Amino acid sequence: MASPSTGNALHKESDFFTRVYELVSSVPAGKVTTYGSVAEQLGLRSSARMVGWALSAADTGRVPAHRVVNRFGALTGKLHFLTADTMRLMLEAEGVTFRDDGTVELKLHLHQFSTRERD
DNA sequence: GCTTTGACCTTTA
DNA sequence: CTAAAGGCCAAAG
């Protein structure tokens, strides 16, 4: 959209970063997404690492990075937040339920961007 | 300008 | 079955 060569690049740190933020911000409250799903939407199915890395550079107060968890639903980047419990508390505040293992119920809160066909 | 690391996932041994 | 390495792209040293 628009013309990127018009010299409009102002707050755009990087298209990749913004792309991740958009997808994460697209996730409603009470829902959680996974790095793999986001990466897949970006076309970087095998490069899910960069998704998490992008979140590390993202501001947790600006981007709901707490809604992003790993494949197992475990809060891998919780230590990157203000406190180790911050991520969990925020998700609980959103209405997300946790298992006894401290993992998020992906079956209940996993936000799917599109119908993923498997097999 | 090259090397290392990074909140991961997938495949091969 | 479990364990290890590879892969991907990008930023910081």
Following DSSP, what letter does each residue of A23-35 receive, concatenated?
Answer: HHHTSPTT-BEEH
In a domain, A65, yes or no: yes
What confidence tens digit (pLDDT) does each residue in A17-66 have?
A: 888 999 999 999 999 999 999 998 888 887 888 898 989 888 888 899 99
What domain count does chain A have? Answer: 1
pLDDT of A96 over the 50 cut = yes
Protein CA at A100 to nucleotide C1' at C2, angstroms: 25
In a domain, A51, yes or no: yes
Q: Among positive and negative, which fits the CA dihedral A75, A22, A26, A37?
A: negative
pLDDT of A3 over the 80 cut = no
> Can you give the pLDDT at residue A47?
82
**pTM of structure:** 0.83
Protein CA at A5 to nucleotide C1' at B9, angstroms: 34
What confidence tens digit (pLDDT) does each residue in A6-20 have?
A: 334 445 556 888 889
Protein CA at A4 to nucleotide C1' at C5, angstroms: 39
The domain in which residue A60 lies consists of: 14-109
In a domain, A55, yes or no: yes
In a domain, A5, yes or no: no
Q: Is the CB of A53 under 7 A from strand C?
A: yes
Reported as a pLDDT band with limits 50, 70 and 90, residue A79 is confident
In a domain, A115, yes or no: no
In a domain, A2, yes or no: no
In a domain, A18, yes or no: yes
Residue A87: CATH number of its domain: 1.10.10.10
d(CA A54, CA A65): 10
